[in-house]
Structure 1
């Protein structure tokens, strides 16, 4: 059975705003995995530059007393052991709490800066396809999996070359530090660590920027549409022309039926003699001027005449007047002033006939 899904070569059109909006609402956003790693390195570098020396000194001072002066700690009861453990945990927490907080904040900030946070229930809803071995195999060894593997290999090679160049003098620094004052050896280790972290941060900046650009480019490429998909979306947005035509047809039929139903209430009908027909209503006490209750052409005109004659409504045949009025009047509105005199003559004829019929 042939696959009906469009291939990538047929997706030549850029994604529409609607498709981008729908994709974003589903939580499918471009995301660089390297940006949080870069943020972690920046957090570690910041800690090393500004806080590591004091934190390590405080922890080192505590451990010196803890190890070299065991008699300073009373361990006679279980309560004493518990208190000592709490003290040790507190000192370790003070030394590591800041770096842990910086790492968490950096990771969250890296994610927020890439995309605004949003809650998407579909992303956390359990789905069998996420634990499917077949799906997992296709993700690992599919085209996207090989791309991720190539990116990882390139990242490792690039980082290795950069680190080797950055750490060429590290062995000399270590040897020099070992033959100096032991207290100064910590500063040597700190300088080497800073060089290492700076080099790794510079590497990650390059990798993260490249991955960020690639992830967004790949995201937009995946969203590309075929010409047929664009046409279908336009139909959905504007409405199918066939459906819209059918709706208009139904609306016209209903309006015509309502108009035909109003003909028995007319006072007179002006016809031409079969092509056009205009039914007018005029009541001296209610209407300021004659009102058009129905108008039609050809078959509709014949239907108006038929109903009028069946209900005893006078029909006046006036070719020029009927043609002119048909073009200029609208249903449920009064006639324009230019027709007042002509219609008034016809209304006068009707009233005169009624008056003559009433007289003995």
Structure 2
């Protein structure tokens, strides 16, 4: 067994673990947060639309109870009167329900976000198991819910008591107010008390919401071995990754070797290093390294060069400098321009001599202009 791998779930859940849990419907949710938003939304909706709703209901009641004989006996006319009255009520009712629905949506998605899971909707035998039911009834979560219920009771009772103490004189003054003004005043007081009591649940939510997020992460925690296995499954086993790397390396080597016949010169150590250089005068720019290698690869490059008539120049210092400072398919460093230029000039003169268009070139200098920082 690996060191420190005790099987304990000490590691934070990975992104894949969280995504899989979300697909199963396992997300952090705070019921108390949703409840608080619904209650506060209802109180706000009643405060905003209650006055208009009461007025329109009063007008509807007066209209219906003041029907004439002709209106009461005409079914079509009666239906029109009732439908018009109902439509007048529908506007404030619609706004009230819209506010409540919005509050419910926000409260239930504020933690965990939106999620729709068919897997969570599927029936599960474990939910029907009496043993599982007893575990839920007497488990840690059940005790937590019990403590939250007691806390909610004491918070609401204390809030109600404080509100009654604070509004006691105003409540007693209702008895001396004129009718129906005292009815409207009492309803308004009840609505504000309802809002205050709903807001008192903030104390519960402040405890429950962080706890639900913590508990959700705790349930999804992983062992070190589970993290390793997931990483292995997502990225592939070391054997597969090694095989892929080898395949990629072989493909790059074959592609590199296919460029050797197109090179202008191969500069060698002459035994351990080989670097193939190509310069395209029509394009301009600097010479490019099309292939490089050491030991067996160096021999392979020289063999291909010989088979295709590419000139091979022995220059140990330049070959090592090019090998360690240049990459395949990239231009050579500016510091080696002068040395490589002498080699290419020699190759050009040599090719012209072979074609009978010039004299024998002067042998290439043994000491090429290579900066000390580029000597290996």
Shift of 1:256: 1.7
Among 287, 292, 299, the residue aligned to 1:302: 299
Q: Is 1:73 aligned to residue 69 of structure 2?
A: yes
Q: Is 1:273 aligned to residue 274 of structure 2?
A: no
SS at match of 2:197: helix
CA distance, structure 1, for counterparts of residue 150 and residue 285 of structure 2: 89
Residue matched to 2:199? 205
CA deviations over 1:6-55 (Å, ceiling 9, x no partner) = 98x735x59879969x969x89575622211111122224445x346634
Residue matched to 2:103? 110
Shift of 1:344: 2.8
SS at match of 2:200: helix
SS at match of 2:293: strand
Shift of 1:134: 3.0
Q: Contact 1:38/1:208 (CA < 8 Å) preserved in 2?
A: no
CA distance, structure 2, for counterparts of residue 173 and residue 288 of structure 1: 96
CA distance, structure 2, for counterparts of residue 89 and residue 109 of structure 1: 27
The alpha-carbon distance between structure 1 residues 308 and 289, as it changes in their structure 2 partners (threshold 3 A), is: same
SS at match of 1:122: coil
Q: What TM-score, normalized by structure 2, do the two folds share?
A: 0.62
Among 262, 267, 286, the residue aligned to 2:259: 262
Shift of 1:321: 3.6
Q: Is 1:159 aligned to residue 156 of structure 2?
A: yes
Q: Is 1:215 aligned to residue 216 of structure 2?
A: no
Comparing 252-261 and 335-344, the one that deviates more: 335-344
Q: Is 1:340 aligned to residue 333 of structure 2?
A: no
Residue matched to 1:194? 188
The alpha-carbon distance between structure 1 residues 23 and 213, as it changes in their structure 2 partners (threshold 3 A), is: farther
In structure 1, runs of 5+ residues without a counterpart are: 1-5, 67-71
CA deviations over 1:166-225 (Å, ceiling 9, x no partner) = 56869x969957xx9xxx444444433333332222111111464266325523652465
Shift of 1:300: 0.6
Q: Contact 2:159/2:200 (CA < 8 Å) preserved in 1?
A: no
CA distance, structure 2, for counterparts of residue 283 and residue 100 of structure 1: 81
Q: Contact 1:166/1:195 (CA < 8 Å) preserved in 2?
A: no
Shift of 1:229: 9.9
Q: Contact 1:280/1:291 (CA < 8 Å) preserved in 2?
A: yes
Q: Contact 1:44/1:103 (CA < 8 Å) preserved in 2?
A: yes
The alpha-carbon distance between structure 1 residues 122 and 131, as it changes in their structure 2 partners (threshold 3 A), is: farther
Residue matched to 1:10? 10
Count of residue pairs the alignment pairs up: 330
SS at match of 2:341: helix
Comparing 240-249 and 107-116, the one that deviates more: 240-249
CA distance, structure 1, for counterparts of residue 301 and residue 121 of structure 2: 65
Residue matched to 1:87? 81
For 1:2-81, what aligned pairs fall within 5 Å after superposition?
10=10, 13=12, 28=27, 30=29, 32-33=33-34, 34-48=36-50, 50-51=51-52, 54-55=55-56, 57-59=58-60, 61-62=62-63, 65=66, 72-74=68-70, 80-81=74-75
SS at match of 1:262: helix
SS at match of 2:271: coil
In structure 2, runs of 5+ residues without a counterpart are: 1-6, 358-376
The alpha-carbon distance between structure 1 residues 326 and 140, as it changes in their structure 2 partners (threshold 3 A), is: closer
SS at match of 2:201: helix
Among 314, 317, 325, the residue aligned to 1:317: 314
The alpha-carbon distance between structure 1 residues 160 and 338, as it changes in their structure 2 partners (threshold 3 A), is: same
Q: What TM-score, normalized by structure 1, do the two folds share?
A: 0.64
CA distance, structure 1, for counterparts of residue 285 and residue 40 of structure 2: 82
Shift of 1:154: 4.0
Shift of 1:103: 2.7
Q: Contact 2:53/2:93 (CA < 8 Å) preserved in 1?
A: no
> Superposition RMSD on alpha carbons, in Å?
5.2
The alpha-carbon distance between structure 1 residues 271 and 147, as it changes in their structure 2 partners (threshold 3 A), is: same
SS at match of 1:273: coil
The alpha-carbon distance between structure 1 residues 299 and 93, as it changes in their structure 2 partners (threshold 3 A), is: same
SS at match of 1:129: coil
